[in-house]
Amino acid sequence: MKKFLLSFFTIIVPFLTFAQDFEIVGETVNPSNKINDGVINIAVKGGVEPFTYRWDQQSTPLTSNQAVGLTEGVSYSVVVTDATGASKTGVFTVETEAITEVFNGLMTPAVGALGSILFWDPFAAVGIYDPVVYADVKQIGIPNWTNDLENKYTLKKWLKADGEKVNVNDPIAVITDKSGRDLTVKSSAKGELHHQTAEGKVIYNSENAQHVIEQGAHYFATVKYDEPAVLTHPNGDPLTKPISFIVIWLVFGALFFTIRMGFINIRGFKHAIDLARGKYDDPDAPGQVTHFQALATAVSGTVGLGNIAGVAVAVSLGGAGATFWMIVCGLLGMSMKFVECTLGVKYRDILPDGRVFGGPMNYLRYGFEKRNMKGFGKVLAGMFAVLAVGASFGGGNMFQANQSFEQMAGQFPVLAGHGFYFGIATAILVGVVIIGGINSIAKVTGRVVPIMASIYIVAALAVIIMNIQNIGPAFSAIVEGAFSPSALKGGVVGVLVVGFQRAAFSNEAGVGSAAIAHSTAKTNHPPSEGFVALLETFIDTVVVCTLTALVLIFTGMHEVEGLAGAQLTSDAFGSQISWFPYVLALAVFLFAFSTMISWSYYGMRAWTYLFGKSKKVEFVYKMLFLVFVVIGASVSLGAVLDFSDMMILAMSFPNIIGLYMMSGEVKVDLAGYLKKLKANQLFRKIESK
């Protein structure tokens, strides 16, 4: 026994000593002046192979000793573990070189800090909801299947019985493609095998519309885990579907105001259309623009890249079912838009020269002052104004210029590398419009918005009609995906959150920006503009966002992996209309252009609230805005844009607090307005026979 122990320690002790004694050597590489292209290479001296590398960058696999796509100036850590379980941690930073890299590196922690507030999950924090995504089963599908695969696969023979225990890499079935080639499929998980397709039956046929539309049609078996498995990112971190605080804040507000206003989103819809058509336009009413022009300006500020790129992301993450919850959230958001835009008109200031100053800054300040909370109102109004200015320069300006250039350069290669000149040209176009103020903006949006919306809607309907045979499978996928999605999509809660999040972020109901545009409308009755504002959310989410989602689903592009955003939407249109990506690129530019001119007005009104209402102050803001157009198109700013985009969402905090406080007076005003409407006491245009 002594000899055995002596031999054991002679062998194992040096082994353990060797195993513990290893060193991490890191090499950082900054290959160019572009942001977010840093590289860290790791070499391990000593230790026992194989090693695992757990990076704090979630997209880097556990097996990789190299991390790419890193933000310069930001520290990254990696925990290296050898075969004996010994671990060491290394921290490395890719040095910045260009000024853009410095800004991006400085703003990245700020984005993380603001994101930790906006996307904090209160339900998970108190233990009510577990955001971690679990899988009870592993789905087994056709090897190397992709959405654009044109083939037919039949299950030839099962190699393992239904209910039999299998291990990873056990051969479980033989499938045959249309050329007669046999493929042996191996299990990718350990557990209990369950057949979903009988021998001799077709698994997937690319010529079958139902197969193309149906989510997961290429799966033919499942392996039930002995215990639910946690789905993970490539670096091993658990995959989560948190219920973000900002989504709760926006959706709960929308639901509250829908009930508080007696479902005004439904019962007020017809009257809203009549107002937008000009049936109640009083030319002598105070204000600067018509109901339709105010609506067009507000719509141009919300309908944009979010409707094209954002929806593609939502459908990619949440599947077809996210569309259902997106529509529900859009319908609820209509009521919140009614409340904020009614208040925007009620508390507006009209100067002797005709300029209108309205929006959340006014009703937060003066509405709270009326309730003997002057100090609190000033704080909320000031917070909103600061956030609105930041959002106008970033999400409402630089982001739009940046993404429209990327989309245009992608379709028209001659533009590549000429972002500065593209920015100059765009700034000139924007400047021509915004120098003239809200009247000029309203006239342009009144023409551009119907044109750009019509182009997009007609194209979307064309794709849907071309695939009209898929209507049954498409709507089945939407309903089934909404109420019985796979664990991979996060379950019902995960899909609901993705759909609600996209709708809330897109239509900006509760953000307060639209109230600035609607406050300029010619009207003697604040609720009338609230009715018009209902249509804005309906157009943005229920119409445009839904059409984008339907195009993706009808063409089967919602099943594409590894591709999202505007490119996915472009590919969906391009799969049916080969030349349409060029039209879509132009539509993206128009969307971005109209968003910029609308947000220039929102930002300017917030700016004048902070620095004074003189025309000189307005001119300074306009010049700054045009400079940021050029910067946005010519420079990659990464985290700077992310931060400013988050500022748009943060605007909802002070705004919705004000809406809650003043919802009672809006309800009283609404009742009075409806009473006058029924009594035919409102100004109404005499229709010519």
Q: Specify the pTM.
A: 0.80
Among 68-77, 158-167, 559-568, the minimum mean pLDDT is found in 559-568
Mean pLDDT of 34-51: 88
Which distant-in-sequence residues (6+ apart) come within 8 Å of 154 by Cβ?
Answer: 175, 176, 177, 200, 201, 202, 203
Main-chain dihedrals φ then ψ at residue 234, nearest 5 degrees: -55, -30
Spatial distance between the Cα atoms of 13 and 22, rounded to a whole number of angstroms: 15
pLDDT at 15 over 50: no
- CATH architecture of residue range(s) 245-678: Up-down Bundle (1.20)
Mean pLDDT of 635-652: 78
- CA torsion through residues 169, 174, 175, 177, sign: positive
Report the b/e string of 517-534 with b at 16+ CB within 10 A: bbbbbbbebbbbbbbbbb
The per-residue pLDDT for 573 is 72
- Kindly report the average pLDDT of the chain as a whole number: 81
CB atoms within 10 A of CB 629: 28
pLDDT at 616 over 80: yes
Mean pLDDT of 182-190: 89
Spatial distance between the Cα atoms of 441 and 519, rounded to a whole number of angstroms: 14
Spatial distance between the Cα atoms of 414 and 581, rounded to a whole number of angstroms: 16
- Among 539, 640, 138, 133, which residue's Cα sits nearest to residue 337? 539
- Extents of the domains making up the chain: 17-98, 134-230, 245-678
Which distant-in-sequence residues (6+ apart) come within 8 Å of 220 by Cβ?
Answer: 140, 141, 142, 155, 173, 175, 195, 196, 197, 203
Residue-wise pLDDT tens digits, 258-292: 999 889 989 988 888 888 888 877 777 887 778 78
CB 28 within 8 A of CB 40: yes
CB atoms within 10 A of CB 30: 18
Residue-wise pLDDT tens digits, 546-596: 888 888 777 766 555 544 556 667 677 766 667 777 777 777 788 888 888
Residue-wise pLDDT tens digits, 284-328: 788 777 878 788 777 776 776 666 766 776 777 677 777 888 888
Main-chain dihedrals φ then ψ at residue 493, nearest 5 degrees: -60, -45
Spatial distance between the Cα atoms of 589 and 617, rounded to a whole number of angstroms: 29
Token pair for 153: 């696969």
Residue-wise pLDDT tens digits, 316-334: 767 777 788 888 888 888 8
Instruction: Specify the pairing of strand 38-46 against strand 22-29.
Output: antiparallel
Residue-wise pLDDT tens digits, 408-424: 787 778 877 778 888 88
Which distant-in-sequence residues (6+ apart) come within 8 Å of 31 by Cβ?
Answer: 37, 38, 39
Spatial distance between the Cα atoms of 54 and 237, rounded to a whole number of angstroms: 9
Which distant-in-sequence residues (6+ apart) come within 8 Å of 439 by Cβ?
Answer: 288, 289
The per-residue pLDDT for 292 is 82
Main-chain dihedrals φ then ψ at residue 632, nearest 5 degrees: -60, -40
Q: What is the CATH number of domain 17-98?
A: 2.60.40.1080
CB 291 within 8 A of CB 278: yes
Q: Does domain 134-230 have CATH number 3.40.1350.10?
A: no
Spatial distance between the Cα atoms of 335 and 323, rounded to a whole number of angstroms: 20
